[in-house]
């Protein structure tokens, strides 16, 4: 992802997370830390950006910062492809485990993460502004 991608990325962000979208400044800040601690990718289908995902990595740990796919393209493998790229990049950077948080009321995302080997390691009660719990997940990368 580059700054030139921001208008499209922010449109997807606002459509996907209507109640808790990141601001453009937050997204720009993440890009500003590439490639030092961040790795952000976009998914392109027929020359159009249909999704994006971001990784934070430091020392031997990494986090999935965000991932979103345009609703019209969900369920076609785009999210899985981006997640695979984040896992590969985390490994390239020497991470031994990767973490993420997901809303407890988001079964599709939880299903994708489980398919990629993430395991539930904890619960953050009422983590989100609307009172929904966050499930904390981890995937070990060594071996
Ligand atoms: C969660 C999200 C990123 C997953 O991306 P996606 O592109 O829909 O994911 P995939 O297509 O790779 O996988 C989704 C499902 O489609 C199925 N699928 C994958 N490739 C497929 C293909 N080629 N054809 C048909 N179905 C396919 C998968 O089996 C998967 O099923 P599952 O839910 O039972 O695991 C996406 O749905 C999204 O943006 N959701 C809204 C935002 C969000 O919740 N973000 C995560 C916050 S933590």
Rounded to two decimals, what is the model's pTM?
A: 0.94
Ligand 1 atom nearest to CA at 74: 8
pLDDT in tens, 66-124: 999 999 999 999 999 999 999 999 999 999 999 999 999 999 999 999 999 999 999 99
Mutate to test the pocket of ligand 1, among 80, 99, 106, 136 (most ligand atoms within 8 A of CB): 80
Residues with CB under 6 A from ligand 1: 16, 67-69, 74-80, 102, 106, 108-109, 111-112, 115
Ligand 1 center from residue 81 Cα (angstroms)? 10
Domain of residue 131: give its range: 3-140
The radius of gyration of the chain's CA atoms, rounded to the nearest angstrom, is: 15
pLDDT in tens, 57-77: 999 999 999 999 999 999 999
What does DSSP assign to residue 141? -
| Residue 93: CATH number of its domain | 3.40.630.30
Cβ distance 41 to 82 under 8 Å?
yes
* Count of domains for the chain: 1
């Amino acid at each position: 992802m580059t700054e030139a991608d921001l208008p499209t990325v922010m449109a997807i962000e606002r459509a996907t997370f209507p109640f808790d979208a990141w601001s453009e400044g937050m997204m720009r800040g993440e890009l500003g830390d590439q490639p030092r601690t961040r790795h952000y990718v976009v998914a392109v289908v027929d020359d159009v950006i249909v999704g994006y995902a971001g990784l934070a990595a430091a020392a031997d740990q990494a986090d999935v910062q965000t991932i979103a796919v345009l609703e019209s393209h969900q369920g076609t493998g785009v999210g899985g492809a981006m997640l695979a790229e984040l896992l590969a990049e985390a490994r390239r950077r020497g991470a031994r485990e990767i973490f993420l948080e997901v809303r407890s009321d988001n079964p599709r995302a939880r299903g994708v993460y489980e398919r990629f080997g993430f395991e539930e390691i904890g619960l953050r009660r009422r983590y989100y502004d609307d009172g929904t719990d966050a499930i904390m997940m981890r995937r070990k990368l060594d071996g």
